[in-house]
Structure 1
């Protein structure tokens, strides 16, 4: 994601529409690093709210995903230590310092299925604002795309649909197509620069099509 790296692959002929270049008769595919993208997303989310599509909100209007929603959930979830929906979360996940912001593991644990499910549960039980649905839905989508691009096993883990390797029947390509449109319609409010997830999904979607051709 560093500007120097992006300019380098662009100078070799790789573009968003054709994310590859030719070298000695070989086609070299260029993709962004999914763990790094996830970390960059988390770090931007710490500072900026995210404007999301209408179908994210229970009010049927454009909604805002907020890091504060996660902070509020963490406080509510830990009021009863005997019944915690997201036990993996700690203060370093919620308010990471400079060194902790560099850890992909912390980003993956907070932008996870369990946190999204916990947010939905707290909304359903009226423990937190219904507006949190927007943040929960966003986290759920981020979790799915990270699973799809980072799976290491041919089998499902914990029943998560996209945590297995890609195949013609796994549904990954449909997910990439859906999220390619989604990422073109969300934006960080007030951020000058942020990771291009449209490019992330489009690049990997292209690679998957080539792999399954």
Structure 2
């Protein structure tokens, strides 16, 4: 597994406790995001290292750079249709492009001015932005907010093939770590190393309402 992990209990001492943060594992070349799929889609992606087959290019797909938010969403890989968990190593320049294009999924007057402006921006954008409560390993809400990005139209075609460095199957790792959560043994829980991601464009950071 190329995903870099560390002790959950050690990491939470360093993570911000509240505010809007893009928590992610990244370096100069890439940013890791997570998705969960049914076997027909997930296994195709693992084998071919791109999204095809039963993967739909006509539906919006959501990516999550925050590991524990993904685990909350897919029930640690136990929800139907989300059994295969993928760590998608994206080109950093692609992730930056998504952030630069992103439009909030709900109206923000301080950013868009009028509701009509926001509606037009949503209609014309291929990237949707949503902030949700982050969660701990047991699924409890935190004060910190976690980001997810919805991708569609021209951008989903780029995401499916061109923007990907590696698609990594982390299903077995998730199954192992889930046992520690179920048994309330967080001392043994390992999660991907994550730190707050700051976009290159300061105007993008302001528009995303990052802390």
TM-score, normalised to structure 2, is: 0.27
Structure with bigger RCO (C-alpha 8 Å, 6+ apart) = 2
Q: Which has the larger Rg? A: 1
Q: Which has the higher strand share?
A: 2
Q: Taking structure 1 as the reference length, what is the TM-score of the superposition?
A: 0.27
